[in-house]
Amino acid sequence: MDIMELAPEKRLVHTAQTYLGKKGYYTLKLDGDYGPATSDAVIRFKRVHGFFDRDYLGPKTMAKLVSDKAIPWDDWAPPLVSKEDVSGLPPMLAEAVRHLGVREIPGSKSEPVIMGWAQELKEEGALDWYTGDEIPWCGLFHAILALRCHKELEFPPNVLSARNWGGRDVPRGVNKSAADEPGWGSQGPNPQDSASVSLGSTGIMWRTSKTESWHGHIGIIDAQNSTHIRMIGGNQANSVSRSWYHRSKFLGTRRVPSVEYVNAPTLPTGSTGAAMI
């Protein structure tokens, strides 16, 4: 295509597509049309370079884009599949580790990987709706782990609600949904009563208030010490990541009956690396 045959506004878009393509943000046809793929590429480029992620090609964005200081997408983006060794880990923990680094997209766009999980769950009848990653997705991430690793277990109603995974074994707060349900899997050690919790088991937490709120969080336990527990979970700092939580925040743990568990390894609070078992 001869760029000079395009209307002036399309020439700008064509130039942007060219440079976005060189830096790995855009992979489709150079057509000068400002469609969804170009819009997504522009927003990601702006976010990487510290610009407000407005869906607009302004002079500052273009100047950075054509400069030799433009950061390639592959140099910034975390891998969608972690390279950590997962041999010997319980299935759900191994699957969680593989997705370390998946991150939601700020603003109106949604990370395709996260939306792919939602579609996979919908196709299996485990999820009714999910419109975008601005909706808390820790329950969504746990659900995709459960679906892929232990499809034989029955899902709780509304998998997006963290507390629902504990059923009647955890305080419901103001939300009585699943209050009479047995909960997913089987009940594990309570982090507040037990000195040790199981590697690869599911941790369920309260947020805002233990009794006056339905808010919660859910993840997969991969380390512990006397005061804190570390989990790999979704929507932790807007990504799949490792985070430490005080034991007092936990409502309980869940385990898969068919899995042989060992105690989670002991690490200092704040440790971020993989735990050795």
Cβ–Cβ < 8 Å for 188, 200: no
Cβ–Cβ < 8 Å for 102, 40: no
Cβ–Cβ < 8 Å for 128, 157: no
In a shared domain, residues 100 and 229: yes
Q: Does the pLDDT value for residue 138 go beyond 90? A: yes
In a shared domain, residues 72 and 207: no
Average pLDDT, stretch 127-153? 95
Assigned domain for 155 exists: yes
For residue 103, give the nearest of 258, 219, 235 by alpha carbon. 235
For residue 76, give the nearest of 128, 24, 138 by alpha carbon. 24
- Calculate the alpha carbon distances from 64 to 72, 77, 215 in Å: 12, 18, 41
In a shared domain, residues 173 and 234: yes
Cα of 99 vs its chain's centroid, Å? 8
Tokens of 73: 């997408």
What SS3 class is residue 186? strand
Q: Lowest-pLDDT range, 16-30, 33-47, 143-157? A: 33-47
In a shared domain, residues 44 and 134: no
The per-residue pLDDT for 203 is: 97
Assigned domain for 21 exists: yes
**β-sheet bridge partners, residue 245:** 229
Domain hosting 46: range is 3-76
- In this predicted model, what pLDDT tens digit does every residue of 221-259 receive, in sequence order? 999 999 999 999 999 989 999 999 999 999 999 999 999
The per-residue pLDDT for 112 is: 82
The per-residue pLDDT for 1 is: 52
In a shared domain, residues 19 and 53: yes
In a shared domain, residues 133 and 223: yes
* Nearest-angstrom CA–CA distance, 147 and 177: 21
For residue 38, give the nearest of 69, 12, 64 by alpha carbon. 12
Domain limit, last residue, from 48, 76, 104 = 76
Assigned domain for 260 exists: no
Give the mean pLDDT of the chain: 88
Assigned domain for 270 exists: no
Q: Does the pLDDT value for residue 170 go beyond 90? A: no
Assigned domain for 119 exists: yes
Q: Confidence band (pLDDT; 50, 70, 90) for 95?
A: very high
The total domain count for the chain is: 2
In a shared domain, residues 51 and 166: no
What SS3 class is residue 72? coil
Assigned domain for 221 exists: yes
Q: Confidence band (pLDDT; 50, 70, 90) for 92?
A: very high
